[in-house]
Amino acid sequence: MEYFYAQDNLSLGQMAARWVARELLACPDLVLGLPTGSTPIEMYQYLARLVQEGLISFTQARTFNLDEYVGLTVDHPQSYAFFMHEHFWSKVDMPKGNADIPRGDVSNLAAECHRYDDAIQRAGGIGLQILGLGLNGHIGFNEPSHNMEIHTHVVDLSVATIQANTRFFPNSDAVPRQAITMGVGNIMQAQKILLMVSGERKRDILTKTLYGPVSTEVPSSVLQLHADLTVITDIKL
Ligand code: GLP
């Protein structure tokens, strides 16, 4: 594991963006796994700036998002598709067809999960998976549980996650109760993983993630078993 300390969320985003840029320059047809949430926003902004300055290009890259809420259309302001359009897709030079995200608004969710796993496979798997960290240790939307799902699947969101994500919705009743997420297997099969963690309130879960027992009750702890994990954080452990 490599561990980089950033002063604050802004420098964390910039460090992560430079790290991604380095990977992209070495491998222009990189397959990226992408997160949403507050933590990566600065990274997306900085990547867009590097593209605008002509220093990097996403024209040959492909991206797969980690997750999406069930029931939200792509133009719903709280959908992750909307977030990605707003913060990244509309700002960089990647062809539209190169960006994929699970559709949460389809009638056959099981078929959508299969489609997504297939698409990742056909792209040759994820080269670099970027992750945020849920307060309860979720990665993507893989919630604490007695078992771990390998493939893309539909998940019931935990009470803690619904509470944590209420800040983006008018009230907690408006937060979707389910999501589609890549499984832990999809994530762990990535060649490289970059974990971004910001804010004191995540100190405890970051400690458990990196140094606690590997347990399905802390899904992020499985990252200890990955051969190429980099952590960028503004929390000094
Ligand atoms: C969300 C997402 C995760 C994200 C996490 C942390 O629920 N499903 O992929 O990493 O929560 O979000 P934030 O960065 O806002 O703390």
For 55-68, write each residue's pLDDT tens digit.
999 999 999 999 99
107-139: pLDDT as tens digits: 999 999 999 999 999 999 999 999 999 999 999
Long-range contacts of 212-218 (CB under 8 A, 24+ apart): 216/144, 216/145, 216/146, 216/147, 216/148, 217/137, 217/144, 217/145, 218/137, 218/144
In terms of C-beta density within 10 A (0-12 exposed, 13-18 middle, 19 or more buried), how is residue 167 classed?
exposed
Residue nearest to atom 11 of ligand 1 (CA): 134
Atom of ligand 1 minimally distant from the CA of 140: 9
Q: Ligand 1 centre from 180 Cα, in Å?
A: 14
Q: Which of 138, 156, 161, 194 to mutate to test the pocket of ligand 1 (most atoms within 8 A of CB)?
A: 138
CA–CA distances in Å: residue 203 to residues 1, 7, 86, 119, 135: 18, 15, 29, 35, 9
Residues within 6 Å of ligand 1 by CB:
35-39, 66-67, 132-134, 140-141, 161, 165
Q: Give catalytic residue positions.
A: 67, 136, 138, 143
Q: Ligand 1 centre from 137 Cα, in Å?
A: 10
Q: Ligand 1 centre from 114 Cα, in Å?
A: 23
Strands 229-233 and 128-131: unpaired
What pLDDT is stored for residue 229 in this prediction?
98
Q: Ligand 1 centre from 121 Cα, in Å?
A: 24
What pLDDT is stored for residue 41 in this prediction?
98
Residue nearest to atom 1 of ligand 1 (CA): 37
CA distance 235 to 201: 9
pLDDT band at 144 (very low <50, low <70, confident <90, very high): very high
| 99-113 mean pLDDT | 98
Arithmetic mean of pLDDT over the chain: 97
Q: Which amino acid, 31?
A: V
For residues 33 and 94, the answer to whether their CB atoms sit within 8 Å is no
pLDDT band at 20 (very low <50, low <70, confident <90, very high): very high
Q: Which of 36, 101, 184, 186 to mutate to test the pocket of ligand 1 (most atoms within 8 A of CB)?
A: 36
What pLDDT is stored for residue 170 in this prediction?
93
CA distance 160 to 176: 13
What pLDDT is stored for residue 88 in this prediction?
98
What pLDDT is stored for residue 87 in this prediction?
98
What pLDDT is stored for residue 55 in this prediction?
98
| 151-167 mean pLDDT | 94
State the pTM of this model.
0.97
What pLDDT is stored for residue 154 in this prediction?
98
